[in-house]
Structure 1
Amino acid sequence: MTTTTLIKNGVVIDTEPEPVVLGRADVRIERGTIAEVGPGLADVRGAEVIDATGTIVLPGFVDTHRHTWQAAVRAVAPDTTFPGYVTRILDEIAPRYRPQDMYAGTLAGALECLDAGITTLLDWNHAQFTPSHTDAAVRALRDSGIRAVFGYAHGGEPGDLRGETRRVHEELSATPGLITMVIAALGPEIAGEERALEEWQVAAELGLPVTAHLGGHGADSAARGLAFLEANGLLTTPTTFIHALDYTDEQFKRIAAAGGSVSVSPVDEMNLGLGYPITGRARAAGIPAGLSADTVVCSPGDMFGQMRTAHLLERGRPDGAGLGFTTRDALRMATIEGAQVAGLGDVVGSLRPGKQADLVLVRTDTPGMAAAQDPIGAIVLNADTASVDTVLVAGRAVKRDGQLLHHDLATVLTSLIETAGTVVRA
């Protein structure tokens, strides 16, 4: 098997330190790693050559927060509110999930990501009711071929949190690959301070980052939760704040000083009535900000929709303060900045030699993409999932010529539909 891949003659976009169009160039991949980027790279005997003529080549997208298991309940509540989501999805539907349903939903959701050019996924899994549910989710991520950060949110008996978290960490560490781990903490605003203290303590003991829904439940709740984390020294552990909608600019500065990051879900933050996305405010404070689909219950599952929405809402802020936000900013959030939020900034998110070769080739020979004068603007404002021609993860093609590889998609979708029939009841 060849260890070298040459991607030739594409229009290349890099994203580090800032998004830039390199023009027509080639990318050489060695053993799954980016080795060289530039025009007219020399041919390598025995290399696999991918002709990228007519495409834009760029780093794969990074989704910093997605409840992947919910692929089986897509659009089940498209016009709901956040309280309605909690009742319908978390209280009613989630407990009906069996381990096989967890596998079916997570596998299909991960393949949905790959199909749309999302090569890295932070899978925030809060339906891990038993070890079998957890094992099914991890197996599905492995089987999908995606690069995943598995967000473990303990859902079993409270006394098992420490032991089960350690078990999952040990098993993932014993079989290194494309999957790493973070603690998906319920946090002080959802589960209370006692549980939150244990979650952050376990994360520190295991050397793992934390990702938590913080600052999205009202200004008073946001202030109390942040004060609790600071008072207990918990922000020495790298922490991502999801839906950080209710913090003041002064509180954002404190989060930035502590090395925190944010994950923004622009579509469903608006759709669920959570609040106006804090994209520009957080970034102005110096906080790395990534994008996320969150849930396909009431949001699109691709990154194009998230980038467009973030761009629209930031530039459309009533006070005009967001007009400096550009399509390049949106793409940066979907790639290198998202990788930083996911804890993988030195691994993926750009075309820097030495990084993993997680790449996307987007077609420009379609009515919606042809004659684009600004490739970055076209990726953010015009491309869609149908434009995604080829996807590579660690140099391995998982999609070619517009078709997913390595899976019997009909079987995957049949299992997904069977799960939907089981878990969705009138």
Structure 2
Amino acid sequence: MRTVLQGGLVIDTAPEVTVRREVDVLIEDGRIAAIGPGLATEGSEVIDARGRIVLPGFVDTHRHVWQTALRGIAVDGDLGMYFERVLAGAGMRFRPEDVAAGNLVGALECLDGGITTVQDYSHVQGSAEHADAAVQALEQSGIRAVFGYGPSPLGGGAVDGAGLRRLLDRASDRIGFAVAAIGPAYAPLETVRADWALADELGLPVVVHVSSSELAPTPIALLREAGLTRANTLYVHGNSLPDAELKLIAESGASVSVTPLVEARLGLGPAIAGRLRAAGAPVSLGIDTVASAAGDMFSVMREILSLGHDTFTAAEVLQLATIAGARALNLPDIGSLAIGNQADLVLLRATDLNLAGGLQDPVATIVTSAHPGNVETVLVGGTVVKRNGHLTTTPLPDALAALATSTAHLLAG
């Protein structure tokens, strides 16, 4: 099947951020086949991109999608409140249907705002049915996802290998898997060894929250001494780590997902993206939890840009939200408009009031001024999942009704 996005202002993100005006994007069999003028042919589906900005879909490298029904309940508190209200409170009351409702609406929220890939760190595995519900909802939504399977940090246990192995049969072109380990900040070394061994056995990446703690003041050094540093590890946060720890991450070839809105709101420590860059460690962007912060990538990009012009330029921030996220998740065929890449694409209305006058520097305009309401059309693997401002993969009223029922149940205790 051939689809042509016709006549748009096209922004690519690799190897450098580039802007091309009034060109077409040709999609064949779900992948980008060509970019240039006059690509529409007889029989092609044509999507009018005139007056639109076309760019790669955003990649959210850390999000607890299941927490969608708990939006806002931990905004006015620190990490202790988050643990109390979200994990130890409502989180203990999640049924499989609550996970399904949260994951579906959360994934739809991602797509609605131009996030085409999400790393779903799912630590609400009360049963096999909980995990099945989470993955089924991601599949139903149409999003691309890396599903991180793991236990709640409240329990302190190892990842359930049998449960994860059972899920691997559901791996597809759009849904991949990762070991969502508790990690050395929250679990003893024998548990950490077991989780890393499981990841090695299954050939999966590890996704893990990392910080200095009483249990592990220097967790990266501990992992290195244990022979557990891996390039296919995605560390999350790390605000409290000293610079020497960040350099160890860089030396290992691993990446770090920063979630600046949540890190600031929960008091996890000073902004870390600049220190990671100085240490040579790859950085990507995540939302984390809508229990504490906004769920869109535009808000996160603005937070990173606010660190100052000597830290990241607008173009570099856009790369953090796209190609850097793809690399962090080891997904080499998304995040840019390279020929042969998956056609994960976003079209923004450049004619909207908040973007008016911004085409002299469309990259800076996107990073400083755009919001989810500007997202008109979204494609994942060449399939339209949002068209003309409306999501297409599942009836939204039904999804929202299920979430409302779930929220009432979860907050009734």
**TM over 0.5, shorter chain:** yes
Partner of 1:417: 404
Contact 1:13 1:19 (8 Å CA) reproduced: yes
Displacement of 1:17 in angstroms is 1.2
Aligned residue identity for 1:182 = A
Whole-Å separation in 2 of the counterparts to 1:221 and 1:56: 48
TM (norm. structure 1) is 0.93
Taking the aligned partners of 2:245 and 2:173, their CA distance within structure 1 comes to: 37
| Aligned CA distance change for structure 1 residues 330 and 221 (closer, same or farther; 3 Å) | farther
In 2, the alpha carbon distance for the partners of 1:210 and 1:151 equals 8
SS in structure 2 of the partner of residue 128 of structure 1: coil
Q: Which residue of 2 aligns with 1:106?
A: 103
Letter of the aligned partner of 2:230 in structure 1? T
Unaligned 5+ runs, structure 2: none
Q: C-alpha separation between the residues in 1 aligned to 2:346 and 2:333?
A: 16
Aligned to 2:298: 304
After TM superposition, give the deviation of residue 157 of structure 1 in Å: 10
* Counterpart among 175, 179, 184 of residue 175 in structure 2: 179
> Residues 159 and 75 from structure 1, CA distance in 2 versus in 1: closer, same or farther, beyond 3 angstroms?
closer
Q: CA deviation at 1:227?
A: 2.1
User: Deviations for 1:264-301, whole angstroms, at most 9, x for unmatched residues?
Assistant: 00101001111122112212322221111100001100
User: RMSD value over aligned CA atoms?
Assistant: 1.6
| Residue 211 (structure 1) aligns with | 207
Shift of 1:162: 2.1
- Equivalent residue for 2:149? 152
Name the SS of the counterpart of 2:336 in structure 1: coil
CA 1:221–1:261: 2 relative to 1, 3 Å? farther
- Match in the other structure for 1:24: 22
- Give, as a single letter, the amino acid of the residue that structure 2 aligns with 1:284: A
| Alignment: residue pair count | 410
* Alignment-derived partner of residue 166 in structure 1: 165
Query: Which stretch of the first structure deviates more once superposed, 250-259 or 116-125?
Result: 250-259
- Matched residue SS, 2:356: coil
Unpaired stretches in structure 1, ≥5 consecutive residues = 316-321
Which of 349, 353, 357 is the equivalent residue of 1:363?
Answer: 349
Query: For 2:243 and 2:19, how far apart are their aligned partners in 1?
Result: 33
Corresponding position: 1:226 with 2:203: no
2:339 matches 1:353: yes
Residues in 2 aligned to 1:82 and 1:414: alpha-carbon distance in whole angstroms: 30
Q: Please state if 1:276 is matched with 2:270.
A: yes
Q: Aligned partners of 1:236, 1:301: CA distance in 2, in Å?
A: 29
Indicate whether 1:192 and 2:188 are aligned. Answer: yes
Specify the alignment match of 1:45 in structure 2. 42
What is the CA-CA distance between 1:109 and the residue it aligns to? 0.2
Residue 340 of structure 2 aligns to a residue whose secondary structure is coil
Structure 2 SS opposite 1:368: helix
| Equivalent pair of 1:339/1:349 in contact (CA under 8 Å) | yes
- How far residue 196 of structure 1 moved from its aligned partner, in angstroms, is 1.2
Matches of 1:18 and 1:61 in 2, distance apart?
16
1:77 to 54, 74, 77: 74
Give the alignment's TM-score, normalised by structure 2.
0.96
Report the secondary structure of 2:88's partner residue: helix
Aligned residues of 2:274 and 2:311 also touching (Cα < 8 A): no
Contact 1:8/1:53 (<8 A) preserved: yes
What amino acid is aligned across from residue 98 of structure 2 in structure 1?
A: D
**Structure 1 pair 280/158, CA: closer, same or farther in 2 (3 Å)?**
closer
Q: 1:391 aligns with which of 365, 371, 378?
A: 378
- What amino acid does structure 2 have at the position aligned with 1:411? D
Letter in 2 for 1:53: R
What is the rounded CA distance, in whole Å, between the counterparts of 1:64 and 1:35 in structure 2? 26
Give the direction of change, closer, same or farther, for the CA distance of 1:222–1:247 in structure 2 (3 Å limit): farther
